[in-house]
A and B are shown apart, each in its own frame.
Chain A
Amino acid sequence: MRMGETVWIMNRRNGIIRIETPLEPHMARKLKAGDAVSISGIIYAARDAAHKRMAGMIKEGKELPFDIRNQVIYYVGPCPAGPGRIIGSAGPTTSGRMDAYAPALIAMGLTGMIGKGSRSKEVVSAMKEFGAVYFGAIGGAGALLSKTVLGEEVIAFPELGTEAVRKLTVRDFPAVVVIDSMGNDLYVSGREKFRIVN
C-alpha cells in the first residue's frame, strides 16, 4: 500500500471522499464516476476569457500564471464580494465552453476540473491518457458554495473582472465525480438508470 492510499482510506467517511489538493495523478485515477467528494486546499478559478489568454500564452511559449501540475481548475466567475465577505456567489459555470482549451492544460499536468455539464470526446480522451478527473459542482448553488471559500486572490488578468484567474482556498467544497480517468460518465449512467422509455 502506498502512503497516499492510507490517507485515502482514513479520509473516507460517511461515503464522502475527502480530497486535499494538490491532486496527484495516482489519486485522481482512484476516483470513480459517482463518488461524492469534499475538496479542501487551493483551487484555481478560471473561465472563458482566462482560458483563451492561457491558450495564447502556451502558443507563445510563455509561462502560465500558476504551475498547473497536479492542480484543480474551477470554472467559475464569482459575484463581487459584499462588505465583510471573502467572495460573492460562486457556483460552477458550464464546462463545455472550456473544452477547446482543456486538453492542452491536462497534457501540461492539470489533474482536476470542477464545473457543470458534459465534456467533449477530446477532453475525456486527454483525461484518460494523463489521469485527470472532472468534478460536477451544484449548478445554481452559488450562495451555498461561496461559504466553502476561505480565501480569494486575483493572480492574473485583473482587467478581466469576474473572469480573472483567482487562487481560491476552499474547505469542504462539495462535488461529485462526473467523469473519471477511465472515461466513465455519471451524466450518462445516472440518466440511464432513471430513464423511462415510452
Chain B
Amino acid sequence: MRFIDAAEITETVKRLCMEANYHLNADIADALKKGFENEESEAGRDILLKLMENAEIAGREKIAICQDTGMAVVFVNVGQDVHITGGSLADAINEGVRRGYAEGFLRKSVVKDPLDRENTGDNTPAVIHYDITEGDAFKIVVAPKGFGSENMSALKMLNPSDGIEGVKRFIVETADIAGANPCPPVIVGAGIGGTMEKAAILAKKALLRPVNIRSGIEYVRKLEEELLRDINRLGVGPAGFGGRITALAVNIEVFPTHIAGLPVAVNIGCHATRHAEAVL
C-alpha cells in the first residue's frame, strides 16, 4: 500500500493546467515546422509561421497559446495499491483546476448547466476519466480541450459491412465538414470499436499520443497514413485559407467490439492539442 496526499495531487493538477496551456508540445512544434516546409500555399505558409511564432511567445511569456483554455479533461491512472489521504481524489483534481486557471490567468469557460449556461467562474468541474491499474503507480494527464475543435467532432455507429472503406469515408468526411472551424492544421483522433462511449474515449485518448508516433498495429498504422494523405488532399489548409497541410496527424485507437457493430468516433484536436502529464 502506498499513500498519496490529496494536496500533492491538487498541486500537480494546478501546475499541469498552466504547463499545458503555455507550452506547445515538442512533437507538434516539429510537425508545424515540417508542415511549413511542405506547404505549397503562400497564405498557408504565412499562417504556419505565425502559429510557430505564437507558440514561441506563449512559452516565453507564460501566456495561453489560445484564449480558449478549454474544459479540463483529466485522465488518471491509479494503481489499485494506492490510497489517497486527506480528501477525495475528485475534489483534489477540481481544486487543482480551480487554482491553475485562477493563478495562471486562464479563461473560465465552463457553464453550470448546458441549458441555463451560467458560468461556474472557476473552470470546474473537470471531466475526469479514471483507470484502475495494477500496482502502486499514479499517473495524471491534463488535456485542456477547446470547443472550436470539440464541436467539429462526430460519432457514428457504422454497420460491420461498411468495413474499412466506410470507416475511412466517415473520418475524411468529418475533417472535410470541420473545415476552418477547428483551427487547422488539426490532429485527428479516432476510436474504432468498443461501444458508443468506449469509441469516444478511445478517440480522446488517441489525441494524447505524440503526432510522430504511429500505431503499433500494422493495419492501423497503414490506415493512419492513408487517412492523413486523404485529409491533406481536401485542400482546407492552415486556418482554412486553402493549402496542403490540413492535418498534422491521424491517431487511431482500436478495441474489440460486438458482432453487430462498428462504432467510430472522431475527436478533432486543434493545432495545439494540449496535454501535460506527471507521475507521482
Interchain CA distance A96-B117 in the complex, whole Å: 18
Instruction: Indicate if the CB atoms of A161 and B121 lie closer than 8 Å.
Output: yes
Instruction: Indicate if the CB atoms of A198 and B40 lie closer than 8 Å.
Output: no
**Which of these binds chain A: B51-59, B81-89, B207-215?**
B51-59
The residues of A that contact B63 with a CB separation of less than 8 Å are: 79, 82, 85, 88-89, 143, 146
The residues of A that contact B50 with a CB separation of less than 8 Å are: 138, 141, 144, 174
CB within 8 Å for A141 and B180 given contacts A80-B105, A81-B105, A191-B235: no
CB within 8 Å for A142 and B105 given contacts A161-B119, A195-B235: no
For chain A residues 134-181, which have a beta carbon within 8 Å of chain B? 136, 138-147, 160-163, 174, 176, 178
Instruction: Indicate if the CB atoms of A139 and B180 lie closer than 8 Å.
Output: yes
The residues of B that contact A78 with a CB separation of less than 8 Å are: 67, 107
Instruction: Indicate if the CB atoms of A136 and B239 lie closer than 8 Å.
Output: yes
Q: Interface size bucket, B side?
A: 35 or more
Instruction: Indicate if the CB atoms of B67 and A138 lie closer than 8 Å.
Output: no
**Which one, B41, B53, B105, contacts A190 given CB within 8 A?**
B41
The residues of B that contact A192 with a CB separation of less than 8 Å are: 235, 242
**Which one, B67, B121, B242, contacts A189 given CB within 8 A?**
B242
Tally of A interface residues using CB under 8 Å = 51
Closest A residue by C-beta to B48: A138
Q: Mark B99-140, 1 if CB is under 8 A from A, else 0.
A: 000000111110000000101010000000000000000000
The residues of A that contact B272 with a CB separation of less than 8 Å are: 140
Interchain CA distance A125-B183 in the complex, whole Å: 25
CB within 8 Å for A80 and B43 given contacts A143-B54, A176-B241: no
The residues of B that contact A109 with a CB separation of less than 8 Å are: none
Instruction: Indicate if the CB atoms of B67 and A142 lie closer than 8 Å.
Output: yes
Q: Mark A70-110, 1 if CB is under 8 A from B, else 0.
A: 00000011111110010011110110100000000000000
Instruction: Indicate if the CB atoms of A80 and B235 lie closer than 8 Å.
Output: no
How far is the CB of A33 from the nearest CB of chain B, in Å?
10
How far is the CB of A50 from the nearest CB of chain B, in Å?
13
